[in-house]
Structure 1
Amino acid sequence: MIWILYLILFVLSFTLSVLGAPTWMFILLLILFVAASFLTLLYPLMWQKDAEKVKRYLLKSKQPYHRFLHAFLYEEESEAEARLTKIRQDQARKYAEIMLFTQQERWNDAKPLLKNMKKSDLTLYYSAIVAMEEGRLANYEKHKTQLKDPHYVTWLTVEELRRNGNKNEALTILEKQISTLGGLKLLSALHYKNKLQHSN
């Protein structure tokens, strides 16, 4: 898709130069090109409603973090661990480690990472998960109330219901949420649903 945008940029730039267009038109064209490229890259990760298309995007991506996410969600744990070692960007690697450690229930490995990272919805969510697991209810509630993203709050509510033996109610809430999600959140919710269906 990006190569099509480059081709359009080239054709339009050439046409404008032949027509002797003013400089501001070239600047506007460049701004539109950058915005379109940005949206093309973000759309599958944030808004795409077809889970298979998001999955294929992650699989084909050259970004190590995206390849890790695919392995984490769809492949063996050992493959996710191997992909993790290829992530060079420090913050992305730490996020990947937090996700993996939490899935492996390695709470003592996840906690120092969460403590030293900048506060975000993702770190607050995983901090709440760790606190819930360790029975630190005050910390759990604190993290949960600080979350700004309602989807993360829903996932915590679903987990509370599961732990209290209300698995069917938890699945009903999750199913309703899935119909509203796109991109990586859609894949995450489907992954969580699969785990929930196979849990006690």
Structure 2
Amino acid sequence: MRVAVLFGIALLLGVLLGLLELGQPTSMIISMIVIVVLGTYLFIYPIYWEKNIRKIESYLEKRRKNPVFKLYYGMGNRIDQDVKEATEALLQKYKDPTRQALFKTLHALYEDDILRVKKDVEDIRPPQYKAYYQAIIAVEEGELEQAAELRKQVKSEWMKHALAAGIAKKAGNHEEYVTEVQKAYEKSRGMQRYVIYKQFEEDMKVV
């Protein structure tokens, strides 16, 4: 549908510029700029910058043939079969050990299998992402000081607040937990925002 919309707009734009008689070089430049901007909005904006959870979820649901989108949609809605099939497809498609480690870690976390997470996380790159998942492991094991130290290696603001929320919850500090959940949500956009919302959905209702 989005491709059809983009094609239709490009066609109308071509007709309009022809009527304005701006000249071929100028018309081509304007057309390219408009198409790039629209293409970015229609296809990239929902993944990286969209803030509306329903729009993000709708975007993912309609594109479940793509294993990445299927994985995130499946994880967000606890559809075990989708998560399993998407993970298998991604492992088959991407042979790079660092990518495989990330998909395996996400799957293990989904299944609450910390032993598998500890094994798979070793190959994750870049270092800040490895530290993020190591911090999650530390929180699950009650090693809160270690989790706090690992958190310092994470640059992404929403990740920092998500980890702080996990640490606060494990420590029994509900007020701080709710505050950090809200901060993580506010700092995130696109699929990151979707992940945060789905992870803390029950708590987001009272935030």
**TM-score when normalising by structure 1:** 0.78
Cα distance between partner residues in 1 of 2:117 and 2:27: 51
Deviation at 1:53, TM superposition (A): 1.7
What's the % identity of the aligned pairs?
18
Which structure is richer in relative contact order (CA contacts within 8 A, separation 6 or more)? 1
Deviation at 1:176, TM superposition (A): 5.2
Cα distance between partner residues in 2 of 1:181 and 1:138: 25
Partner of 1:99: 106
Is 1:191 the equivalent of 2:193?
no
Cα distance between partner residues in 1 of 2:100 and 2:30: 36
1:119 pairs with one of 117, 121, 126: 126
Q: Quickly say closer, same or farther: Cα 1:170–1:115, change in 2 above 3 A.
A: same
Cα distance between partner residues in 2 of 1:133 and 1:176: 21
SS at match of 1:146: coil
Deviation at 1:177, TM superposition (A): 4.4
Q: Quickly say closer, same or farther: Cα 1:150–1:181, change in 2 above 3 A.
A: closer
SS at match of 1:13: helix
Which moved further from structure 2: 75-84 or 157-166? Answer: 75-84
Amino acid at match of 2:140: E
The count of aligned residue pairs is 197
Cα distance between partner residues in 1 of 2:176 and 2:59: 32
Partner of 1:35: 37
Cα distance between partner residues in 2 of 1:53 and 1:136: 37
Partner of 1:84: 87
Measured against aligned partners, the alpha-carbon deviations of 1:110-154 in whole angstroms (never above 9, x if no partner) come to 345433232165443212212443566676344311211111111
For structure 2, the residue ranges without an aligned partner over 5 or more in a row are none
Measured against aligned partners, the alpha-carbon deviations of 1:80-110 in whole angstroms (never above 9, x if no partner) come to 1122222354276643322121232333433
For structure 1, the residue ranges without an aligned partner over 5 or more in a row are none
